């Protein structure tokens, strides 16, 4: 599997199939193999399955990395990676998903340590910047701390990030940045992805 993604697109609640096709197409056109997409839908298992299956069909055309949030069986069915949300049991996941990536949230430094001990592959460190309802911003220093604790895991910066701040995340040590709501504001997405693609991310040729 590719370890090269630099931008993680997380689907917002209630996203339509049409919006998924539009935004993923724009992201893939700008980012190519540097794109990963996480299917996230907390409303119901059926809604998550709808979003994940739609993304799986888009993956055939655009060849991005696909993560499924919180549903092991669905991730296995779609040959996708797994994102483990807070509170989800972790026992046996590494053995079961041995051929896939596993990511999890890291709202505190200790969460990075726990993820490394569990044998996970990536942590979503957040909130880097202020996001309504998500607690106090942790700042770019949280990325640097996570990188020192990660034991080789990828550090993905999440929370209030756009093209104007993504470069600071990479400078602080992030391997990738995550974006969620902003790309689905129809007018913003093409510019956002083009700007992200123009950044000097780590390891870029």
Reported as a pLDDT band with limits 50, 70 and 90, residue 119 is: very high
Q: Do the beta carbons of residue 127 and residue 138 sit within 8 Å?
A: yes
77 located within any domain: yes
**Number of domains present in the structure of the chain:** 1
Q: What is the pLDDT of residues 148-176, one digit of tens each?
A: 999 999 999 999 999 999 999 999 999 99
User: Kind and range of the H or E element at 190?
Assistant: helix 189-197
Q: What is the domain range of residue 21?
A: 7-197
Give the E-state strand segments of 45-152 in sequence order: 65-69, 81-83, 102-106, 122-125
163 located within any domain: yes
Q: How many CA atoms lie within 13 A of 172 on its CB side?
A: 23
According to the model, what pLDDT value does residue 205 have? 41
Identify the weakest region by mean pLDDT among 1-5, 56-60, 129-133, 148-152: 1-5
What is this structure's pTM?
0.93
Angle, CA of 38, 93 and 56, to the nearest 5°: 30
According to the model, what pLDDT value does residue 203 have? 53
Cα(11)–Cα(8) distance, rounded to whole angstroms? Answer: 10
1 located within any domain: no
Question: What integer best gives the mean pLDDT of the chain?
Answer: 92
Cα(61)–Cα(83) distance, rounded to whole angstroms? Answer: 23
Q: Do the beta carbons of residue 23 and residue 193 sit within 8 Å?
A: no
Q: What is the pLDDT of residues 120-141, one digit of tens each?
A: 999 999 999 988 887 889 999 9
Length of the chain: 205
CATH number for the domain harbouring residue 159? 3.20.20.70
């Amino acid at each position: 599997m590719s370890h090269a993604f630099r931008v993680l697109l997380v689907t917002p609640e209630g996203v339509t199939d049409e919006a998924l096709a539009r935004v993923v197409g724009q992201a893939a056109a700008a980012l190519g193999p540097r794109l990963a997409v996480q299917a996230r839908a907390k409303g119901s298992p059926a809604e998550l399955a709808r979003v994940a299956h739609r993304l799986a069909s888009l993956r055939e055309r655009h060849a991005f990395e696909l993560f499924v949030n919180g549903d092991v069986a669905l991730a296995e069915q779609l040959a996708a990676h797994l994102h483990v949300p807070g509170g989800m049991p972790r026992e046996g996941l590494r053995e079961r998903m041995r051929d896939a990536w596993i990511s999890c949230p890291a709202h505190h430094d200790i969460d990075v340590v726990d993820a490394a001990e569990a044998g996970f592959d990536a942590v979503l460190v957040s909130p880097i910047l202020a996001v309504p309802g998500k607690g106090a911003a942790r700042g770019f220093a949280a990325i640097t701390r996570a990188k020192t604790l990660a034991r080789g895991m990828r550090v993905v910066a999440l929370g209030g990030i756009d093209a104007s701040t993504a470069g600071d995340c990479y400078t602080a040590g992030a391997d990738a940045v995550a974006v969620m709501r902003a790309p689905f504001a129809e007018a913003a997405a093409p510019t956002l992805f083009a700007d992200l693609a123009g950044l000097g991310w780590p390891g870029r040729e």
